[in-house]
């Protein structure tokens, strides 16, 4: 049986820095198993960390460097952009959320961990979107 391929939305790695210890521990456990992110996840994380967390750039650099070691990083391409437009139209996703889904599909992932979608939703009959921070998970 093949191993599940998971994709992380930016909220998962950002919870590593959360004061909510349960969420921080859950994020750490998920990321320790490895997975896939996109350059968009790196960009969103840098923005949140610089604006909301007020971390210095050296700390942000170290956080993102570690994330790049733990996860496979996928680029954003014109094909992903076009697929995201179609997903946003079809499912009513916000465009930047649709980019995450499109990248997860392009990477061949079967699970997307995120808080930004309906838990249990399936996209393209092959990607399950799960909120790993729900109490039952």
Mind listing the pLDDT tens digit for each residue in 23-58?
999 999 999 999 999 999 999 999 999 997 668 999
Residue 1 has pLDDT above 90, yes or no: no
Parse the chain into domains and list their residue ranges: 6-130
Say how far apart CA 107 and CA 80 lie, in whole Å. 10
CATH topology classification for 6-130? Rossmann fold (3.40.50)
Q: For residue 7, which of 94, 106, 91, 86 has the smallest C-alpha distance?
A: 106
Mind listing the pLDDT tens digit for each residue in 88-113?
999 999 999 999 999 999 999 999 99
Element (H, E) at 89: helix 78-91
Mind listing the pLDDT tens digit for each residue in 17-29?
999 999 999 999 9
Q: For residue 75, which of 106, 36, 39, 108 has the smallest C-alpha distance?
A: 39
């Amino acid at each position: 049986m093949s191993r599940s391929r998971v994709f992380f939305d930016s909220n998962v790695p950002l919870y590593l820095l959360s004061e909510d210890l349960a969420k921080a521990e859950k994020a750490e456990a998920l990321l320790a198993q490895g997975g896939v992110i996109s350059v968009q996840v790196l960009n969103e994380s840098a923005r949140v960390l610089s604006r909301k967390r007020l971390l210095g750039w050296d700390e942000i650099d170290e956080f993102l460097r570690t994330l790049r070691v733990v996860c496979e990083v996928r680029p954003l391409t014109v094909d992903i952009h076009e697929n995201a437009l179609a997903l946003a139209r079809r499912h009513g996703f916000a465009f930047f959320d649709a980019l995450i889904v499109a990248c997860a599909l392009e990477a061949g992932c079967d699970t997307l961990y995120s808080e930004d979608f309906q838990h249990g939703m399936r996209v393209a009959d092959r990607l399950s979107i799960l909120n790993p921070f729900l109490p039952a998970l």
